[in-house]
Amino acid sequence: MTDPTNPGPQGMKEKLVRTKERWAEEGRLLTGNSADPQRDRLPPGQRLVTDWPVLDLGIQPAVSETAARLDIDGLVEAPVSLSWAELMALPQEERRNDIHCVTQWSRYDNDWRGLSVTDLLARARPRPEARFVTMESHDGYTTNLPLADLDRPENLLATHWEGKPLTRQHGGPLRLVVPHLYFWKSPKWIRRITLIAQDRPGFWEVRGYHDRGDPWMEERYSA
């Protein structure tokens, strides 16, 4: 079922998308529990894995360094537009965190290297009316966040994982990492962050998935 307001990337696997839509309709994987992230490391309904499962829409764009870039625009005083070379010239930071996928797997202690999200947002200088962001990837995928969830010190625009450049299948050369939310909120192959005043749901959010996606509140689906 294609949403006319957000049809999604060309070439995506419609059968896969429809399966995930049915999960939302049926409330699959829901336990009805919540947890405290200060006390409980594993969110409700999750299982630990030691590999890193690959999930996408059936498309893995090959983004060359020539094509890779990041734009931050919308409700900002100083729009940012950086080529790959310009991104790589910025200070690199490291983070270690856990990640949690809405399809029920979690992986502990991931080591990342990349660019501070808070530093890049500070460079763009958000306007007072900016309260949300919408994000777009090279494959056409979109998702949304409250600006407060994006502008956190643990978040990273990652270029490396476990000491090696991010592979294409995991979103290389550049992906967002927002570890306190389900991982569909951390888009692969990211190319644009747009600050907006009113919330604008993205690809999965218009297909039955929760607008925010807090794993400890088990915010998998919108209903």
pLDDT at 10: 66
Structural domains of the chain, count: 1
For residue 223, is it within any domain?
A: no
223 band by pLDDT with thresholds 50, 70 and 90: confident
For residue 65, is it within any domain?
A: yes
For residue 222, is it within any domain?
A: no
Please give the model's pTM, rounded to 2 decimal places: 0.94
1 band by pLDDT with thresholds 50, 70 and 90: very low
Tell me the average pLDDT across 9-23.
Answer: 87
Q: CATH number of the domain at 91, please.
A: 3.90.420.10
How remote is the C-alpha of 56 from its chain's centroid? 12
pLDDT digits (tens, 9 = 90+) for 26-62: 999 999 999 999 999 999 999 999 999 998 888 899 9
pLDDT digits (tens, 9 = 90+) for 161-173: 999 999 999 999 9
| Tokens 């501070």, residue located | 116
Average pLDDT value for the chain: 95
pLDDT at 203: 97
C-beta of residue 160 within 8 angstroms of C-beta of residue 113: yes
Domain of residue 176: give its range: 14-217
4 pLDDT higher than 60? no
pLDDT digits (tens, 9 = 90+) for 125-144: 999 999 999 999 999 999 99
146 pLDDT higher than 80? yes
Instruction: Give the type of residue at 192.
Output: R
Structure tokens at 17: 């998308």
Cis peptide before 61 (omega within 30 of 0): no
11 pLDDT higher than 90? no
C-beta of residue 177 within 8 angstroms of C-beta of residue 192: no
CA distance 190 to 193: 8
pLDDT digits (tens, 9 = 90+) for 88-123: 999 999 999 999 999 999 999 999 999 999 999 999
State phi, psi for 190 to the nearest 5 degrees.
-65, 140
Structure tokens at 219: 């915010």
For residue 6, is it within any domain?
A: no
pLDDT at 152: 98
- What letter would DSSP give residue 50? S
pLDDT at 81: 98
